[in-house]
Amino acid sequence: MVPPVTRDAELISDLYNVVLVFAVIIFVLVEGLLIYSVIRFRRRSADEMPEQIHGSRAFELAWTIIPAILIAVIFGLSVDTLGRMTARGTLSNPVAHVHAINDVAARQRVERAQPVDLVIEVIGRQWVWQYKYPGGDGVTTSEELVVPANKNIRLDMTAADVIHAWWMPELGPMIYVNPGEMSYVWFNVPPGDYIGQCNVYCGVAHARMISRVKALPQAEYDEWYAKQAATSSAATRPGDPEIGKNIFLNGSCIACHYIEGTKAQGRVAPRELTRFAGYPTIAQLDGFENNAENLAKWLRDPQAIKPGTAMPNLNLKAQEIEDLVAYLLTLK
């Protein structure tokens, strides 16, 4: 298993290792008996006739009762682990699921379950995770979930279209994120970068629906957050095509878009972007001329420009938009 970094992931990993011991014992026993029998009891003469044994009550009871006990032990250990994962006040109850978004009572149970320092809203959509931070600063990201390290975090998750699944192997159990329902995940992690990806097949770019969590020490997190809050409304420098290229190729854009000779091999968007700057219009929209200003408008909110387009609002920052525009207009 991927080395666990949270208590819940550790509980799972410990249980796995114990069960694996049982598994290896049974494996060695069965394969050993099988191989021994094949070698020891191979037919040596054409007319040999072994003793006709029809059964043995003692043996059969033994290999009914002993496995039953083993199973009971594994069941007990699993229930025990589940109990510890849902113990109160230990930042556990690591996942929870509520079937209706507006179920107030269930919502209150979730709020009471664990004391938390930060709640982030997460929306899973084809093929990107979007993270919305609390507070009125309008901070949203979609490439990376940045959180303060060693703090209790809760993710309030739902899906905008089909079923997705949140799976960060180092961080604890996975959970489905269903449309029309709420899924909750709690975690508390040391500083570091963690990676996972959507684990329910969700369409053509399912393989590119990566989730990244970056845990920063509180001071660095505050600095990052302040910068986000500032740049979410205005860019601080002119667009840089190199940075834009980085954003494009390491983000969710490649899920749908195709640029020859790069990692962007998505085939969802109707036109490839290999020579994007040469197109007269954006999104094949008559009169929507392909220039930096319009492109920035488009990236800010595609649905507002062309309702029903497959391109989602990626909640890009003003600076990210500047960088992406600079990059896209180099594609000739």
Closest CA to 74 of 36, 109, 23: 23
Prior bond to 63 cis, omega within 30? no
Residue 192 neighbours by CB under 8 Å, 6+ apart? 5, 149, 214, 215
**Closer to another protein by Cβ: residue 40 or 332:** 40
Q: Which of residues 272-331 bind another protein (CB under 8 A)?
A: none
What distance in Å separates the CA atoms of residue 264 and residue 260, rounded to the nearest whole number? 7
Closest CA to 154 of 182, 128, 180, 178: 182
Closest CA to 214 of 183, 190, 232: 190
Smallest gap from Cβ 262 to another protein, in A, equals 11
Name the segment binding another protein (CB under 8 A); options: 230-238, 260-268, 287-295, 308-316.
260-268
Q: Which of residues 211-250 bind another protein (CB under 8 A)?
A: none
Q: Which of residues 6-65 bind another protein (CB under 8 A)?
A: 9, 11-13, 15-16, 19-20, 23, 26-27, 30-31, 33-34, 37-38, 41-44, 47-56, 59-60, 63-64
Name the segment binding another protein (CB under 8 A); options: 5-13, 220-228, 273-281, 305-313.
5-13
232: tokens are 């979410």
Closest CA to 191 of 12, 2, 5, 3: 5
Smallest gap from Cβ 222 to another protein, in A, equals 30
**Cα atoms in the Cβ-side hemisphere of radius 13 Å centred on 283:** 21
DSSP code of residue 140: E
Decide if residue 185 touches another protein (CB under 8 A).
Answer: no
Per CB under 8 A, the list member of 157, 198, 264, 325 interacting with another protein is: 198
What distance in Å separates the CA atoms of residue 311 and residue 299, rounded to the nearest whole number? 9
DSSP code of residue 262: S
Smallest gap from Cβ 103 to another protein, in A, equals 11
Per CB under 8 A, the list member of 88, 90, 204, 242 interacting with another protein is: 204
Residue 213 neighbours by CB under 8 Å, 6+ apart? 144, 145, 147, 168, 171, 189, 193, 194, 195, 196
Smallest gap from Cβ 265 to another protein, in A, equals 6
Smallest gap from Cβ 280 to another protein, in A, equals 27
Name the segment binding another protein (CB under 8 A); options: 130-138, 172-180, 273-281, 313-321.
172-180
Decide if residue 175 touches another protein (CB under 8 A).
Answer: yes
Name the segment binding another protein (CB under 8 A); options: 146-154, 192-200, 220-228, 300-308.
192-200
**Closer to another protein by Cβ: residue 135 or 261:** 261
Decide if residue 197 touches another protein (CB under 8 A).
Answer: yes
Q: Which of residues 111-150 bind another protein (CB under 8 A)?
A: 126
What distance in Å separates the CA atoms of residue 10 and residue 172, rounded to the nearest whole number? 8
What distance in Å separates the CA atoms of residue 116 and residue 186, rounded to the nearest whole number? 8
